[in-house]
Amino acid sequence: MTLSEHFKPLLSLSQRFPLIFRILHRLLLSFVLLWAVTVMIFVGVEALPGDFATTYLGQSATPEAVANIRVDLGIDRPLLTRYGEWLSNALTGDFGTSWASQQSVSEQISRRLGNSLFLALFAAIVAVPLSVGLGLIAVRYRNRIPDKLINILSLAAVSLPEFFVGYLMIMLFVVTFPTAAFPSTVYDGMGFLSRLEAIVLPVATLVLVVLAHMMRMTRAAIMQVMSSAYMETAELKGMSGLRAIIHHAAPNALAPIINVVALNLAYLIVGVVVVEVVFVYPGMGQYMIDAVTVRDLPVVQACGLIFAAIYIALNMVADILAILANPRLRHPR
């Protein structure tokens, strides 16, 4: 039996159920990618310059003291052995103990991750409907004043990095025009309403960073659909421009819009690192930066893995939703 004949039943099933096989293929690819990321994270963190033992004991530490610290931490063992132990523990949710604070990394991350997700969630609640709405307005009034104004503002927003926007927010609303409505600090134990008030500036920074990209991609996707023959037919039959966009153009541009929204949601989770450092927000990004400065490898590895897992998961969800939105796969002939 030849190789093609051996896989013929599987190929036949994939042709009969393309939707299921596409989804399974994307799931398998995501797991393989996540495993590759674990290797890159572990090797990359190990390759960071500096040594925790030397940083912890100081430059005047004796070689014997440094060697004893390395033995106590287990970093004198072979790299492959430590990677296997770290990966097996990470799969069970155990990221070890922080070298600097001697506290459980998993417990610290559970609190910090909740803060980061809280910040990213409210940024997404504002950014996603606003960007889609602005994209629809830009298409409705394309090549007119609203469209040109939205494009100019979006280009300006894309050109500004997160840290600049964040420091600009602080300078305007905390230093120059201080107001109690925008507290400059966030801490654990705050009430829900107080926390909402405290994240106004970080959320505004994140929204400005991702809004322009999502809006421009939404506009581009809908504009591509608007050039189709059936859209021209709808307009010739007298259907209003806004109704044609909402009922016909937007649903057919759903797949690229879902992709760009999911990518920017992933960026909101991973990109909070800079914003959290600027606003001294007690989230995953601030936790990771603090760990990098003292070479706390268990914390850096855990944060890197969680960020990568969230990014891959959101991309996987976006791909699956785009597959489900494809009528050719939902209704194969």
pLDDT of residue 1: 47
The string of pLDDT tens digits covering residues 250-305 is 666 777 777 778 778 877 877 778 888 888 888 888 888 888 887 788 888 899 89
The predicted structure's pLDDT at residue 3: 45
Torsion angle of C-alpha atoms 72, 73, 74, 79, degrees rounded to 10: -150
Within-domain flag for 35 = no
Mean pLDDT of the residues in the chain: 78
Confidence band, pLDDT 50/70/90 cuts, at residue 231: low
Distance CA 200, CA 180 (A): 12
* 105-140 and 200-226 helices, crossing angle to 10°: 40
pLDDT mean over 9-21: 59
Say if residue 173's pLDDT is above 50. yes
| Structure tokens belonging to residue 204 | 């505004």
**Does residue 159 carry a pLDDT above 50?**
yes
The DSSP result for 172-198, as a single string, is IIIIIS--TTS-S---TT--HHHHHHH
Q: Give the tokens for residue 140.
A: 């409705």
Q: Is residue 265 part of a domain?
A: yes
Q: Is the pLDDT of residue 11 over 60?
A: no
Number of domains in the chain: 1
Q: Looking at the domain assignment, is residue 173 inside a domain?
A: yes
Tokens in use for 196? 């909402």
Query: pLDDT-based confidence at 10, cuts 50/70/90?
Result: very low
Tokens for 299?
């914390």
206 is a domain residue? yes
Of 216 and 243, the structure prediction assigns the larger pLDDT to: 216
Residue 248, CA atoms < 13 Å, CB-side half-sphere: 20
Percentage helix, strand, coil for the chain under 3-state DSSP, each rounded to 5:
80, 0, 20
Predicted TM-score of the model (pTM): 0.77
Asked whether residue 268 is assigned to any structural domain, the reply reads: yes
Pairwise CA distance, residues 122 & 296, whole Å:
30
* Token pair recorded at residue 185: 């600090």
**Residues 305/90, Cβ–Cβ less than 8 Å:** yes
3-state secondary structure of 228: coil
Task: Tell me, yes or no, whether 135 lies in a domain.
Answer: yes
* pLDDT in the model for residue 36: 93
Average confidence (pLDDT) over 50-60: 67
In a domain, 194, yes or no: yes
Q: Using the predicted structure, report yes or no on whether residue 230 has a pLDDT greater than 80.
A: no
Give the domain CATH number at 189: 1.10.3720.10
143 falls within a domain: yes
Asked if pLDDT for residue 76 goes beyond 60, the answer is yes
Range of the domain at 115: 105-330
Q: What digits encode the pLDDT tens for the residues 115-125?
A: 888 888 888 88
CB 262 within 8 A of CB 321: yes
